[in-house]
Amino acid sequence: MHEETVYDALDTTHGGGGQWAFGTGFDDPLAGVELTVPDGVDPADLGAYCLMLGDDALVLAQRLTEWITAAPELEEEVAFGNTALDLLGQARLLLTRAGSVGVLGRSRSTATDSIPDEDALACFRDPDEFRCTGLVAAGNGDFAQTMVRLLAASTVRLAVFARLRASRDPVLAAVAAKGVHELAYHRDHAARWVLRLGDGTPESHRRAQAGVDAVWPHLADLFTATDVEARLAAAGVAVDPAGVGDEVHDVLTTVLTRATLRVPGRPADVVPRGRTGGHGPELSALLTTLQGLARRHPAATW
């Protein structure tokens, strides 16, 4: 008799070691990737840019994690967990890269030596050292607002990563090449929910519209390059955020219109605050939760 489960194949791909519970057949996204900094690029700029992209992922992952045990459905809770873990994986690669080119600064003097760079950067930087945008730092709101924010954030990040695949920095190119598949799914998943909530019941429509109105002002902070981004974009390493604004607004307008939601006017671009360390109290509160355990027990392992 042929008794098959999908887990049998996993076990054999892993040499029959019975470790399928941890997953198998995974690819190392940095396998064979050159780690030297490209010619003519200031390592401090490259590190700062890695922090921008890494912090966006880390902070949004933490926001999504806040839904664990609180999501409206078990299935959606797992989806939040998966999305958060995708982003956390991106954050780890980017923070590790940032650490390797020397951005640790204060966080290294605060953290114990046994802590890897990525953990020192995630858990031992103060809020003013974070380079995430206000779009990801803002609180979740309700489920509808969370999905609108995920739609906006994944649309922005997918547009950036799609271009970043051509970066002269091989690490950024590899991280982007891995990330676009994850981000395409995040965007698709969020878009499906926004369609259903916007074009659902009067209550779901009202909440989705309120979510759009709450998220929209954060789009002002996204599409003006900082000096670091401008220098790196000129060097073919970074993506100029000004170049993705139209695409992002086109995608969001398409989804919201189909969802019967009113599209707010495009907010005027402002000088980036989050990218230069200007954050509100919401990020501090998030980091208190994210960093509390590591700071209290800096040598803990598990």
What is the contact surface with other proteins in residues (CB under 8 A)?
4-10, 12-13, 20-26, 72-76, 78-79, 82, 189, 192, 196
The smaller minimum CB distance to other proteins, of residues 260 and 289, is found at 260
Q: Which residues touch 68 (CB under 8 Å, ≥6 apart)? A: 77, 80, 81
C-beta closer to other proteins: residue 146 or 291: 146
Contacts for 290 with CB less than 8 Å, ≥ 6 apart: 58, 62, 122, 123
Taking the C-alpha atoms of residue 168 and residue 233, their distance in angstroms, rounded to an integer, is 10
If the CB atoms of residues 4 and 113 are measured against other proteins, the closer one turns out to be: 4
Closest distance of CB 78 from other proteins, Å: 5
**In the complex, least distance from residue 273 CB atom to other proteins, rounded to whole angstroms:** 34
Helical ranges in 115-169 per DSSP H? 117-123, 134-137, 143-164
Closest CA to 186 of 84, 292, 47, 69: 84
Q: Where are the alpha helices (DSSP H) in 125-276?
A: 134-137, 143-164, 170-198, 202-215, 227-234, 245-258
Residue with tokens 């992209």: 53
Residue nearer to other proteins on the CB measure, 10 or 242 = 10
- C-beta of 255: minimal distance to other proteins in Å? 15
Nearer to other proteins, 25 or 32 (CB): 25
Minimum distance, C-beta of residue 150 to other proteins, in the bound complex (Å): 13
Kindly tell me which of 1 and 268 has the beta carbon lying closer to other proteins.
1
Between CA 58 and CA 29 the distance in angstroms is 18
Q: Say if residues 97 and 164 touch (Cβ distance below 8 Å).
A: no
Burial status of residue 18 (CB atoms within 10 A of its CB: 0-12, 13-18, 19 or more): exposed
Nearest distance, CB of residue 67 and other proteins, angstroms: 13
CA 54 vs. chain centroid, Å, equals: 7
Residue 186 Cβ, how far from other proteins at the closest point, in Å? 11
